Each structure stands twice: as C-alpha cells, then as structure tokens.
C-alpha cells in the first residue's frame, strides 16, 4: 500500500469513527491529554460501591497534572454517606496531605456557592466538588458558571458525582469509573490502584471508549493494565497502549497550602 492509499484509508477510518483506533497508542494518548484538559470542568460518575475508586481516580488525575493545592468540597450528608477521606489512603496514592484542604458545607446550595467562589481562586490547582445522589442544582446553568470560572482562573474542576445519573451539563468530559482487581506485585504484595474508566462524553468529539489503567504513584502517571476478563461478559477489557497516560494537561503547581479542614456555611 503506497502512502497516498494509506492516508486515504486512515481518513476514512477517522471520518467513520471520529477517533483514532484504540490500538493507535500515540494518537489515543494525545487525544486523552486534550480530553482531560486543564482549566476546564470534568465530571466523574460512579456507583455507591465504586465511590472510593472514583475518589482515588480524582486524586490520581490531580497528581498526574501536578495541579495542587487541592480543595475538596463535600456536604455533611456526603460525609455521612461516604465516610471521611482516609488520610493514609491519600498518602498511599502519593498525595502530600499538606496540599489538601477539605471543606464541609451544610447542604447542596452551600456546596455550589462555595464552589463558585473557589473556582475563581487562581492559587488553586484543582477543585473537587463531591456530591451524592441526584443533586438537582448541579445543572446546565450551574456547570456553565463553573466552566467559565475555570477558564478564567486556570483551576481544573472535577465534579465527583456518586450515585447520580448524567444530565446535560457544560463539562468538557464525562467519565464513568469502576473498581477492578489489582495485579499482585512480587511476593504477593498488594498491587497498584487499578481503575476501569469509560469516557461517556467529550465536548466536541466522540466518546464511548473504555480502558483499564493502573496508577503509578512514583511516576505520577497512569499505565496500561493487563487485560482481565470482565466478570459479566468474560471478554477482556482493552488497555490503552502506550507507556503512560497523561490524564490532565500539565500545569505549574501552585505553592503548597497548609493542611486544614474548614467548615463553611
């Protein structure tokens, strides 16, 4: 096949799918970097059973971008449902807890007001907004405001949606995260944190791709995981080919903030 024929064939594939093949590692990796861009709003969805994995994925994407300090907002109801963040677990993910500020608010209205203020703070690297259930006020209007604030301030916003159904929003990307088994290390030591991730939506592009990835806390990036049979279908999930997965575009890290937990009304 000559060069022109190969180019035409590739253009036809792109026109049909809108995306490069999952096995085209470099193209997919570049597209993933664009998809999880800085200074944007991104949504992460998970079931109640997978809430811990979704939280870990949010921490990992923050660390991959070196985008700290991290402000984590949650309601008191969310803390009752999901439990407190586990400090040792955050450290195991590679997070310096001195760069984390956790703020508890009374209710959903307070959550959005605080998020709107925090999203305009240029000293932040990442803002995580955790909500459980329907959270009807996190709608198209609210997410548009958050997106505009993120684009102006440079803060990356992760909307962590637990036990919620996707609704129209202004988010740049929407992800579904489920837990999966880690591969044991030597001497049967616990393996690296592993995630099944699916891109449900990407603004301005096609989605529907799924990968199994592992978090490398030493390198601060994601790596392909070995395929494992799906427990329901028996079919191997497709890993993302390539040395690493830069889930968020790089940005300079802000100065570390002192550790604190703040209650805001």
Tell me what pLDDT residue 33 has.
Answer: 41
For residue 202, the SS3 value is strand
Residue 243: CB atoms within 10 A of its CB come to: 10
Distance between CA atoms of residues 257 and 41, nearest Å: 22
Distance between CA atoms of residues 183 and 199, nearest Å: 23
**CB neighbour burial string for 113-134, b if at least 16 within 10 angstroms, e if fewer:** ebbeebbeeeebbbbbbbbbee
Tokens of 23: 């096995």
Tell me what pLDDT residue 83 has.
Answer: 93
Residue 244: CB atoms within 10 A of its CB come to: 16
Tell me what pLDDT residue 209 has.
Answer: 82
Tell me what pLDDT residue 260 has.
Answer: 42
Start-end of H helices in the chain: 3-17, 25-35, 51-64, 76-82, 87-93, 108-119, 140-153
What one-character DSSP code corresponds to residue 128?
E
Residue 47: name the closest of 160, 154, 149, 148 by CA.
160
Instruction: List the pLDDT tens digit at each of the 265 positions of the chain.
Output: 555 555 545 444 433 333 344 444 444 454 444 446 789 999 999 999 999 999 999 999 998 888 999 999 999 999 999 999 999 999 999 999 899 999 999 999 999 999 999 999 999 999 999 999 999 999 999 999 999 999 999 999 999 999 999 999 999 999 999 998 887 777 766 788 999 999 899 887 777 888 888 898 888 888 877 665 555 555 555 444 433 444 544 333 233 333 344 444 4
Distance between CA atoms of residues 216 and 110, nearest Å: 35
Q: Where are the domains of the chain?
A: 25-264
Q: What is the pTM of this model?
A: 0.77
What one-character DSSP code corresponds to residue 172?
S
Distance between CA atoms of residues 199 and 201, nearest Å: 6
Fold (topology level) of 25-264: Rossmann fold (3.40.50)
For residue 13, the SS3 value is helix
Tell me what pLDDT residue 222 has.
Answer: 84
For residue 94, the SS3 value is coil
Tell me what pLDDT residue 229 has.
Answer: 55
Count of alpha carbons within 13 Å of 151, Cβ hemisphere only? 9
Residue 180: name the closest of 219, 222, 227 by CA.
227
Tell me what pLDDT residue 257 has.
Answer: 35
């Amino acid at each position: 096949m000559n060069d022109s024929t190969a180019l035409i064939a590739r253009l036809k594939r792109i026109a049909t799918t809108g995306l490069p093949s999952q096995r085209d590692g470099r193209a997919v990796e570049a597209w993933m970097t664009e998809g999880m861009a800085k200074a944007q709003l991104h949504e992460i969805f998970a079931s109640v059973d997978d809430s811990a994995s979704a939280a870990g994925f949010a921490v990992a994407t923050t660390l991959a971008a070196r985008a700290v300090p991290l402000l984590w907002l949650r309601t008191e109801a969310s803390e009752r449902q999901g439990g407190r963040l586990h400090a040792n677990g955050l450290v195991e993910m590679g997070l310096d807890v001195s760069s984390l500020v956790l703020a508890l608010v009374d209710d959903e209205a307070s959550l959005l007001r605080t998020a709107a203020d925090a999203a305009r703070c240029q000293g932040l690297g990442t803002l995580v907004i955790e909500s459980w259930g329907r959270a009807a006020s996190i709608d198209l209007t609210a997410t548009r405001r958050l997106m505009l604030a993120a684009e102006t301030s440079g803060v990356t916003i992760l909307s962590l949606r637990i036990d919620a159904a996707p609704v129209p929003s202004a988010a740049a990307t929407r992800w579904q995260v489920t837990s999966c088994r880690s591969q044991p290390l030597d001497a049967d030591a616990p393996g690296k944190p592993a995630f099944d991730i699916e891109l449900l939506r990407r603004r301005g592009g096609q989605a529907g791709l799924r990968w199994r990835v592992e978090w490398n806390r030493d390198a601060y990036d994601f790596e392909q995981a070995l395929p494992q049979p799906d427990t329901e279908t028996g079919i191997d999930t497709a890993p993302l080919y390539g040395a690493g997965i830069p889930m968020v575009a790089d940005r300079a890290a802000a100065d570390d903030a002192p550790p604190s937990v703040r209650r805001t009304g």
